[in-house]
A and B are shown apart, each in its own frame.
Chain A
């Protein structure tokens, strides 16, 4: 009986922790969502301008390659800093494991991601981004700079962003998105539909109609503008992905903690039932003993 009682106590204290975590996750989730909303117009505008330049000047750039270049890839894996979020981290790693080849490399973001890939045989670009929560705009730019530099030096021909997409409060899905090279279709003058489709896929639709300005003046030159903007676009996309991933993490944690609370509730009620039964049995036994004793007198 004492064992049951202490068990109930311990479940209750765990429950108070999971409850608190649920509340914290919900409030952080709201903030992360807001951040993500704020960054969207930024990279949308960047993408539009890049497209504009390519369409009007037919400019070629090192970032835009034929898509059939087969060389090593780099995966930017954005995971969480903490566990206790259901399958949040594990699902992400599984997705990468299915795709990755031997000579690919990884840029892990987040403590769980760094820890996971340190034990793996793949080459790691840097472990500087150990704490996903501290990746703000300057850090996203650092990541972007590193990626662009290595990409241009030809160390890898593809860059993928791996993060968890925020579908709704209840569902988050691991996503693998090609970041570089930029889509060859963007070079095709008839590809505005493809671009629009891609935008849609990216989670937003264009509200403004696409208009190409042929008489735009570029300074210093279209080429230089393009090489300056593309790294910014890359960083913007990374920052957007980090924001979305953290929103997903909090949502996943909230769901996991909610389930934990329900479980704890159920456990407490079965344990209480057990406890009451045991108590009842003891009382009954005592009464029987007393009656038996008085009968012998």
Chain B
């Protein structure tokens, strides 16, 4: 199968810059798979997972949060706040973060802002855990 250029950009710099065969992305409106010669396309990602298939048919799962995917003629770009391959996820830390966020949400004295922050943290941790477990 033909391959295309995939670039993944995060605030920490470029995470992926490689030729790939396909990429599967969970966007806010559902899972989409991108192959070569896809139509120009933009979709948002909130708490998603990404699966990249390289030309040698190796697959790599990753967790990707807060961003969007943009398909142009010559390349596909994913711009995300965080992008971590499943094998780079610090599972213990994610579990700890989940427990801490749950504890925080159990408090009754939280302001709306604080509650939202804690909820977002919980979601991030849960997403990491899910991606990690899926790729075990």
Contacts of A235 in B (CB 8 A): 81
Cβ distance A63 to chain B, nearest Cβ, rounded Å: 15
Contact of B41 among A140, A219, A229, A232 (CB under 8 A): A219
Whether A42 pairs with B42 at a CB distance below 8 angstroms is no
Contact of B11 among A38, A126, A216, A229 (CB under 8 A): A38
Interface residues on B, range: 20 to 34
Q: Give A235 to B81 CA distance when docked, in angstroms.
A: 9
Contacts of B39 in A (CB 8 A): 215-217
Q: Give A239 to B42 CA distance when docked, in angstroms.
A: 24
Contacts of A142 in B (CB 8 A): 117
Instruction: Decide if A53 is an interface residue (CB 8 Å cutoff).
Output: yes
Instruction: Decide if B51 is an interface residue (CB 8 Å cutoff).
Output: no
**Binary interface encoding of chain B residues 5-21 relative to chain A, with 1 for a CB under 8 A from any of its CBs, else 0:** 00001111110000000
Within 8 A of A (CB), among B47-93: 66-68, 70, 72, 77, 79, 81-82
Within 8 A of A (CB), among B19-48: 27-29, 39-44, 46
Interface-centre pick from B10, B68, B79, B117 (highest chain A CB count, 10 A): B79
Instruction: Decide if A203 is an interface residue (CB 8 Å cutoff).
Output: no
Q: Give A69 to B83 CA distance when docked, in angstroms.
A: 38
Contacts of B44 in A (CB 8 A): 219-220, 224-225, 228-229
Whether B42 pairs with A216 at a CB distance below 8 angstroms is yes
Instruction: Decide if B113 is an interface residue (CB 8 Å cutoff).
Output: yes
Closest to A48 in B: B70
**Binary interface encoding of chain A residues 241-269 relative to chain B, with 1 for a CB under 8 A from any of its CBs, else 0:** 00000000000000000000000000000
Whether B43 pairs with A225 at a CB distance below 8 angstroms is yes
Q: Give A213 to B42 CA distance when docked, in angstroms.
A: 11
Cβ distance B123 to chain A, nearest Cβ, rounded Å: 12
Cβ distance A273 to chain B, nearest Cβ, rounded Å: 53
Q: Give A236 to B117 CA distance when docked, in angstroms.
A: 18
Instruction: Decide if A39 is an interface residue (CB 8 Å cutoff).
Output: yes
Whether B40 pairs with A49 at a CB distance below 8 angstroms is no
Q: Give A219 to B38 CA distance when docked, in angstroms.
A: 14
**Binary interface encoding of chain A residues 39-54 relative to chain B, with 1 for a CB under 8 A from any of its CBs, else 0:** 1011101100100010
Contacts of B29 in A (CB 8 A): 219-220
Contacts of A42 in B (CB 8 A): 9-11, 79
Q: Give A140 to B81 CA distance when docked, in angstroms.
A: 10
Cβ distance A45 to chain B, nearest Cβ, rounded Å: 5
Contact of A41 among B14, B41, B81, B116 (CB under 8 A): B14
Cβ distance A35 to chain B, nearest Cβ, rounded Å: 8
Cβ distance B126 to chain A, nearest Cβ, rounded Å: 15
Contact of A215 among B40, B67, B70 (CB under 8 A): B40
Instruction: Decide if A137 is an interface residue (CB 8 Å cutoff).
Output: yes
Instruction: Decide if A111 is an interface residue (CB 8 Å cutoff).
Output: no
* Known contacts A142-B117, A232-B79; 18 further A-B pairs (Cβ under 8 A): A38-B13, A38-B14, A42-B9, A45-B9, A45-B79, A46-B79, A49-B42, A145-B116, A146-B113, A216-B39, A216-B40, A218-B42, A219-B29, A220-B28, A224-B28, A232-B68, A232-B81, A236-B11
A-B contact pairs, 13 of them (CB 8 A): A38-B11, A41-B14, A141-B66, A145-B117, A216-B39, A216-B41, A216-B42, A217-B42, A218-B43, A225-B44, A228-B44, A232-B67, A239-B11
